[in-house]
């Protein structure tokens, strides 16, 4: 059974100033996520599922439908604020999305096979998709997951702070703990994360999550129960979010799952701020000149 690629593409790009998942970065107008799909097809993935919003669904489909037709199976699911479990309703005044855990959960009915998760606005590199595909093909248990860990110093932006899942692993590269750090900044004397006014140093080679994970379909059951629990304790808060690594952490602590961290020394890149775009375009052009990608992905 070929694995599925789940792409989280419902973000509104508030810091970027627009829908960066639809913005052109490649020489023939390619978005970043098209390079991920191209790599996934080469690695043996059989389907892609986009998590989007209804407000830009037509624009999104018109951009990708013809390009991907005949190359990979495509499906769409919608992350809307009122897409909640039975018995729960949207709090009045809530505008912030529910987080990546909710984004993954809305794909529950569309995915019945092993699957990988990525962000739409991150470039992961072809080796990441090969590693994910090979791992999913070799899994023998529903409880075996993996993630691609990138070196922290290769995932920063020159134009502001970033959020990263900081990973702790054992001697066998199995994930022990993942901690979400929401304000990481590269400074002249090192890389730090901030908690309020407190400043904490991080090792530049620390493995971090860039939301490049692989799961078995049973993970949706954990997410469903976890999201209900989250709503019960924090659902009335206007800015609370349910991130799927939170659920990974909870299940790790309960010894219900294992997560292999696949180390990557690749140069991850992505867009958080508008100023990131020229650098992303430059890096893509270098990869094209090196022969990693054609100038037009879909010709």
pLDDT score for 17 = 78
The pTM score is: 0.93
Nearest to 12 by CA among 27, 2, 22, 26: 22
pLDDT score for 2 = 94
- Express each pLDDT in 56-98 by its tens digit: 999 999 999 999 999 999 999 999 999 999 999 999 999 999 9
pLDDT under 50 in the chain at which residues? none
Decide: 15 and 273 in contact? Cβ < 8 Å: yes
What is the per-residue burial (b if ≥16 Cβ within 10 Å, else e) of 177-187? Answer: ebeebeebbbe
CA dihedral (52, 72, 147, 133) in degrees, to 10, reads: 170
- Measure the CA–CA gap between 195 and 96, rounded to whole angstroms: 21
- Express each pLDDT in 105-120 by its tens digit: 999 999 999 999 999 9
pLDDT score for 11 = 87
- Express each pLDDT in 132-144 by its tens digit: 999 998 888 999 9
């Amino acid at each position: 059974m070929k694995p599925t690629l789940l792409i989280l593409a419902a973000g509104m790009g508030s810091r970027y100033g627009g829908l960066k998942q639809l913005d052109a970065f490649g020489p023939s107008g390619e978005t970043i996520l098209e390079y991920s799909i191209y790599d996934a097809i080469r690695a043996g993935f059989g389907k892609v599922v986009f998590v989007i919003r209804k407000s830009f669904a037509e624009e999104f489909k018109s951009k990708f439908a013809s390009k991907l037709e005949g190359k990979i199976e495509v499906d769409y699911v919608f992350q809307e604020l009122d897409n909640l479990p039975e018995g729960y309703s949207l709090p009045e005044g809530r505008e912030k999305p529910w987080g990546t855990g909710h984004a993954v959960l809305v794909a529950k009915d569309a995915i019945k096979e092993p699957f990988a998760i990525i962000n739409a606005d991150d470039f992961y590199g072809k080796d990441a998709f090969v590693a994910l595909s090979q791992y999913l093909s070799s899994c023998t248990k529903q409880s075996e997951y993996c993630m691609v860990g990138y070196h922290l110093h290769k995932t920063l932006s020159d134009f502001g702070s970033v959020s990263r899942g900081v990973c702790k692993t054992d001697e066998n590269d199995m994930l022990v703990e993942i901690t979400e750090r929401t304000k990481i900044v590269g400074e002249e004397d090192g890389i730090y994360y901030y908690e309020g006014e407190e400043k904490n140093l991080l090792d530049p080679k620390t493995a971090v999550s860039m939301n490049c994970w692989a799961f078995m379909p049973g993970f949706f059951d954990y997410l469903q129960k976890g999201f209900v629990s989250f709503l019960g304790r924090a659902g009335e808060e206007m800015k609370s979010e349910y991130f799927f690594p939170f659920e990974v952490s909870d299940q790790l602590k309960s010894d219900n799952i294992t997560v292999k961290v696949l180390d990557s020394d690749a140069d991850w890149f992505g867009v958080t701020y508008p100023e990131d775009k020229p650098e992303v375009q430059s890096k893509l052009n270098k990869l094209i000149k090196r022969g990693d990608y054609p100038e037009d992905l879909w010709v």
